[in-house]
Amino acid sequence: MITFPNAKINLGLYVTERRIDGYHDLETIFYPVGLSDGLEILPSSRFIFQTSGPDTGGTIESNLVVRAFRMLQREFQLPEVKIHLHKVIPTGAGLGGGSSDAAFTLKMINEMFLLNLSGEQLEGYAASLGADCPFFIRNKPALATGIGDKLTPIQVDLSAYHLVIVKPPVMVNTALAYRSVLPCIPETHPQDILRLPPEQWQKHLKNDFEKSIFPLFPEIEAIKTLMINRGAVYAAMSGSGSAVYGLFRELPVNFQDSFPEDYFVFSEE
């Protein structure tokens, strides 16, 4: 069985409160996009986990895909499997690649072994793996609140726009990003801003992390500026970075050539 775990972008991201447990409450819109990894799971007499593409780092057992499988294996006494994960979604980008891989693993194992777990049950398992993992179970646009795990379906359709994602070769430390942000309730909530056409989002739809991350990583801000100068109707950093995405009515000619070879560039037409 093979599937293709996709990335997400954040349409607005507001850090609203610092919690006593060390986490932060936020408001954001998760939106699924076409950039995807490849994930294959097959029956096997022994456990095998292989990866290809960019190195994800860490040990095998710490990988979210393996952790997702082991969780259901323990719960339902499942036999071993062979897993091959081909990475395309860059890590440390704010695109949810690892969370998506984990969520799709849960869904695949549920289907392979006829576990008959409901969407709600799968979301429960996913939540124990990461705050944004539950989103990828249903994989539809959603308003995320709490620590990103409370999801409310929302109608957003960006199919009329070309999406471009660019990630420079820098990693943003998530803990540092959260320590540097000043929690604040937004004057206008993201779901209300999204009722406006995307051409009006730039002045209203914000990512709170940009204020503290851009001075530390000017190359990230430079990507956003370039996108706007080249015609993006809206551009923003996704998550806590370091990827930036832009929405275009028309793709700029030779836009990929605007970036060094070590930059990751994805275009969804």
The model carries a pTM of 0.95
Domain carrying residue 108: 2-153
Query: What are the catalytic residues?
Result: 8, 132
On whether both 9 and 82 belong to a single domain, the answer is yes
Residue 75 and residue 28 share a domain? yes
Q: Are residues 121 and 243 in the same domain?
A: no
Tens digit of pLDDT for each residue in 166-195? Answer: 999 998 888 888 888 888 899 899 999 999
Own/partner long-range contacts of 123-130 (Cβ < 8 Å, ≥24 apart): 123/151, 125/68, 125/71, 125/72, 126/68, 126/99, 126/102, 128/71, 129/64, 129/67, 129/68, 129/71, 129/99, 129/102, 129/103, 130/64, 130/98, 130/99, 130/102
What does the pLDDT read at residue 128?
Answer: 95
- Chain segment 146-162, per-residue pLDDT in tens: 988 899 999 999 999 99
Distance of CA 205 to the CA centre of its chain: 18
Query: What pLDDT score was predicted for residue 177?
Result: 83
The Cα–Cα gap between 118 and 116 comes to 6
8 in the same domain as 131: yes
What distance in Å separates the CA atoms of residue 32 and residue 34, rounded to the nearest whole number? 7
Judgement on whether residues 140 and 174 belong to the same structural domain of the protein? no
Last residue of a domain, one of 153, 176, 193: 153
Region of 148 on the Ramachandran plot (φ > 0 left; ψ -120 to 50 alpha; else beta): left
The CATH number assigned to the domain holding 181 equals 3.30.70.890
Beta-ladder partners of 236: 245
- Are 71 and 13 contained in the same domain? yes
Identify whether residues 128 and 190 lie together within a single domain: no
pLDDT of 240:
92
Which segments of the chain have a pLDDT < 70?
none
Domain count of the fold of the chain? 2
- Is the preceding omega at residue 240 within 30 degrees of 0, hence cis? no
Predicted local confidence at residue 57, as pLDDT: 77
How far apart CA 85 and CA 83 sit, in angstroms, is 6
